[in-house]
Structure 1
Amino acid sequence: QLNLSNGTEAYTNWKDIPVPLYMRFYVFNVTNPYDVILNASKPVVREIGPYTFREKRSKEILSWDTENGTVQYREIKTYIFDREKSFGTQDEMVYVINAPMVGIATMAMQKLSGLVRPIFMPILSSLLESYNEQLFVNRTVRQILFEGYEVPLLKDLTNLAKPFFDIPTILPNNTFGVFYGKNNSDDGIYSVYTGSQGVENFALVETWKNKSSLSFWHSKYCNMINGTDGSMFPPFLDKSDTLYIFTTDLCRSLYLWFEQETKVLGIDAYRFTGPDKLFADPHVDLDNKCFCADPNNCLKAGVIELTSCQNGAPVVASGPHFYQGALEYQSAIDGIKPIKKKHETFLDVEPLTGLVLNASKRLQLNIYVRQTPGIIGLQNIHDTIFPLIWLCESAEIDESSANLFKNQVQIPMNLGTSIMLAAIVLGSMWTIVALAITAYYCKQARNPRFIVCQSQERLSTASSTLEEQEAPGSPVSGHIK
Structure 2
Amino acid sequence: MLMPKPLKYATISGGVALFGLLFGWVLFPTILKSQLKKEMALSKKTDVRKMWEKIPFALDFKVYLFNYTNYEEVQKGAIPIVKEIGPYYFEEWKEKVEVEDHDEDDTITYKKLDVFYFREDLSGPGLTGEEVIVMPHMFMVGMAVAVSRDKPVMLNVVGKALNGLFDTPKDLFLRVKALDILFRGIIINCARTEFAPKAVCTQLKKEPVSGLVFEPNNQIRFSLFGTRNNTIDPHVVTVKRGKKNVMEVGSVIAVDGNPEQTIWREHCNNYEGTDGTVFPPFLKETDRLQSFSGDLCRTFRPWYQKKTSYRGIKTNRYIANIGDLANDPELQCLCDAPDKCPPKGLMDMNKCIKAPMYASMPHFLDSDPALLENVKGLSPDVEQHGIEIDFEPITGTPMVAKQRVQFNIQLIQTDKIELFKQFPNTIAPLFWIEEGLALNKTFVNMLKHQLFIPKRVVGVLRWWMVSFGSLGVLIGIVFHFRNDIMRLAVSGDTKVTKVTPEDEQQQKDVSVIGKVEEPAKVNM
1:213–1:225 Cα contact (<8 Å) kept: yes
**Aligned residue in 2 for 1:43:** 80
2:391–2:397 Cα contact (<8 Å) kept: yes
The one-character-per-residue Cα deviations of 1:320-376 (angstroms, maximum 9, x if unpaired) are: 111111111122111111100000111111111111111111011111222122223
**Aligned residue in 2 for 1:18:** 56
**Could you list the runs of 5+ residues in structure 2 that have no partner in the other structure?**
1-38, 215-219, 495-524
The one-character-per-residue Cα deviations of 1:1-34 (angstroms, maximum 9, x if unpaired) are: 2222232111121111123311110000111111
RMSD, aligned α-carbons: 2.8
1:158-307 → structure 2 map (5 Å cutoff): 159-160=198-199, 168-170=207-209, 171-173=212-214, 174-187=220-233, 188-219=235-266, 221-274=267-320, 278-280=322-324, 282-293=325-336, 295-307=338-350
Cα distance change of structure 1 residues 344 and 163 upon mapping to structure 2, 3 Å threshold: closer
Task: Tell me the matched-pair count.
Answer: 444
**Aligned residue in 1 for 2:475:** 433
**Aligned residue in 2 for 1:478:** none
Moved more, 380-389 or 127-136: 127-136
| Secondary structure of 2:418's aligned partner | coil
Matched, 1:324 2:366: yes
Cα distance change of structure 1 residues 119 and 3 upon mapping to structure 2, 3 Å threshold: closer
Deviation at 1:428, TM superposition (A): 2.2
Matched, 1:30 2:72: no
Alignment counterpart, residue 72 of structure 1, candidates 94, 105, 109: 109
The one-character-per-residue Cα deviations of 1:32-56 (angstroms, maximum 9, x if unpaired) are: 1111113x11111100011111111
1:65-214 → structure 2 map (5 Å cutoff): 65-87=102-124, 88-112=127-151, 116-117=153-154, 120=157, 123-124=160-161, 127=164, 130-132=167-169, 134-152=171-189, 157=196, 159-160=198-199, 168-170=207-209, 171-173=212-214, 174-187=220-233, 188-214=235-261
Cα distance change of structure 1 residues 17 and 126 upon mapping to structure 2, 3 Å threshold: closer
Percent identical residues: 27
Alignment counterpart, residue 369 of structure 1, candidates 411, 414, 419: 411
Deviation at 1:158, TM superposition (A): 5.3
**Aligned residue in 2 for 1:472:** none
2:101–2:109 Cα contact (<8 Å) kept: yes
**Aligned residue in 2 for 1:479:** none
Matched, 1:345 2:382: no
| Secondary structure of 2:93's aligned partner | strand
Alignment counterpart, residue 416 of structure 1, candidates 440, 454, 458: 458
Cα distance change of structure 1 residues 160 and 449 upon mapping to structure 2, 3 Å threshold: closer
The one-character-per-residue Cα deviations of 1:136-169 (angstroms, maximum 9, x if unpaired) are: 1100111110111122269664534699999732
Moved more, 401-410 or 45-54: 401-410
Cα distance change of structure 1 residues 451 and 298 upon mapping to structure 2, 3 Å threshold: same
2:134–2:173 Cα contact (<8 Å) kept: yes
1:273–1:347 Cα contact (<8 Å) kept: yes
Moved more, 234-243 or 104-113: 104-113
Q: How far apart are the structure 2 equivalents of 1:61 and 1:267? A: 34
Q: How far apart are the structure 1 equivalents of 2:42 and 2:326? A: 42
| Secondary structure of 1:106's aligned partner | helix
| Secondary structure of 2:143's aligned partner | helix
Deviation at 1:182, TM superposition (A): 0.9
Deviation at 1:58, TM superposition (A): 1.6
2:74–2:424 Cα contact (<8 Å) kept: no
Q: How far apart are the structure 2 equivalents of 1:161 and 1:193? A: 42
Q: How far apart are the structure 1 equivalents of 2:464 and 2:206? A: 74
1:121–1:374 Cα contact (<8 Å) kept: no
1:444–1:450 Cα contact (<8 Å) kept: no
| Secondary structure of 1:410's aligned partner | helix
**Aligned residue in 2 for 1:459:** none
**Aligned residue in 2 for 1:333:** 375
Cα distance change of structure 1 residues 449 and 322 upon mapping to structure 2, 3 Å threshold: closer
Q: TM-score, normalised by structure 2?
A: 0.78
| Secondary structure of 1:407's aligned partner | helix
The one-character-per-residue Cα deviations of 1:254-289 (angstroms, maximum 9, x if unpaired) are: 1101111111111111111115xx511x33223221
| Secondary structure of 1:262's aligned partner | strand
2:61–2:434 Cα contact (<8 Å) kept: yes
**Could you list the runs of 5+ residues in structure 1 that have no partner in the other structure?**
453-481
Q: How far apart are the structure 2 equivalents of 1:355 and 1:32? A: 46
Q: TM-score, normalised by structure 1?
A: 0.85
